[in-house]
Copies of this chain bind each other. A is one copy, B any other.
């Protein structure tokens, strides 16, 4: 069990991978900086999410905390040992990997939309359901910056800002401070966040 303050690196892209991580509490972003200077956020991970899957022995993304985070760090050595003792454990990891796959597919669906407002709405709904099992809670915590949101949605920062404004002007969502939103008109919000 390790603890990280907000805005610190858990690991850096390209470094040799030796562990998997499972979030106990907090939120992280997984991203890569491209040669052009653009940053692409591949995923946000929340409590109980698995991250650290490597390719060719190295981490492909940098993972950075957005909030204070507690993670279970599982070294590969320890894992192979655990797998031998308890074969059922592999199934656990398979399930968690499939969950990551589903989230990535959902990200794909978001990116497939051509309208900025729709993409933003889908991210907000993701954060909403992530918040708690209490489905339909109108208050949505937004742990990341708008710049992060832009990099996740594949939009420019300005486009995210304008989409936020439009959601407000239309009375669908209200942004209070930088890290909270409130769903005003659930009906129209769900209509927007539907998979077109």
Contacts and interface: CB of A to CB of B under 8 A. Distances in A.
Interface of A: 34-36, 38, 40, 42, 53, 55, 83, 87, 90-91, 93-94, 97-98, 100-102, 104-105, 107-109, 111-112, 114, 154, 194-196
B101 A94 contact: no
15 contacts: A34-B195, A34-B196, A35-B196, A40-B112, A83-B91, A87-B87, A87-B90, A94-B94, A97-B97, A101-B101, A104-B104, A104-B108, A107-B108, A108-B108, A111-B154
Given A83-B91, A114-B154, 11 more contacts: A34-B195, A35-B194, A40-B112, A42-B108, A53-B98, A87-B87, A87-B90, A100-B101, A108-B108, A108-B111, A111-B154
Main secondary structure of the interface of A (DSSP, over half): helix
Q: How many chain copies does the complex carry?
A: 2
A102 B196 contact: no
Given A34-B196, A35-B196, A194-B35, A40 B97 contact: no
A194 B35 CA distance: 9
A101 B53 contact: yes
Closest 6 CB pairs of A and B: A87-B87, A111-B111, A90-B90, A112-B154, A104-B104, A101-B101
A34 to B, nearest CB: 5
